[in-house]
Structure 1
């Protein structure tokens, strides 16, 4: 399976604390990859390292075979990467319509996916509930039509039916050529169609494989 992006022997430090201990993570092209682990496992650090939000203290981040360590966040975004953080992924002083307009021309498609946003277009994003802000953040990323989409716990604050709708859209987008990486604490049934699951525990990779293999292997050591 071709690899779109990867972290190789990647290390991330926050002061004296090391969040990633030389991990190897490969994200296949045109597929959905799920990063699993408890809070503090290193999932967010892995996404942020790939997006350029945090620097690597060791190892490499690659995208389409190229070392992207020298590229800024904005340069990676211009090349087609989008990151949806777990929190504060919207511009609170702007309206929902303005937030969606920042991404690109695909607003109508996002409103079809999330009709819940239609009545909120003139509301300032900062006045919305956490779940509504999450829809705006995900929608803004989708409007940009990224080739590499990173989502950190995108289901946070969403109703199960809405989360399932999002997962179906992401799986369909992957078959259309988009590479998606999703961080989650546990694997939802609606992401059983993901190509690869990586499980992180205390900054190390403890499992990599297909979702079906999760039934016969532990998700993390106790």
Structure 2
């Protein structure tokens, strides 16, 4: 599977948070054709979990989670962070595997988009076989590199590495951002929910504060009617 042509549509930032006291950070960017793209970093024991959505997961749009383990006193994490900040290509073996490679591929300045990819280390006749890939504006990858470096002192080397498990989450009804247990979130109450149905959904800070709706409107993004009604409801909660 070869590398795809970069999408040169205009992208702009919609939301960017400082690191929360719980050791988590997230940001959002807008693609004029594809909608909102999210990135999330959080400390879990002696590793950093990176989540990107939506991502290309073997041909289907999904949420991609990758665990960045601290096996060498933060050296590999710092190398990745420097590459993200400096817009330079970078590759390293995926945690606990010598068959899969995690690589960062910055694209041309004209596109201002970079890719994080997970692929098989062995290169076949059609090139690297990609298992996962995520495209984000370069300024978000730069922010992520800075945050990874800031989060390294938060890691606890005394915590043994555990078998990786997909972290459960719910999706914000306003922007579809993954919301993990313990993450700051408000609630969208469904007063007309039928008996037995969920009467409330966790909503992210950006949507609860009206930040998402304001930025989408300022960017001139055509918000689907149903999504707009949800964002407007969250804005007055």
TM-score normalised by the shorter chain: which range applies?
under 0.3
The structure richer in helix per residue is: 1
> Which structure exhibits the higher relative contact order, with contacts defined as CA atoms closer than 8 Å and separated by 6 or more residues?
1
TM-score normalised according to structure 1 size: 0.25
Q: Which one has a bigger Cα radius of gyration? A: 2
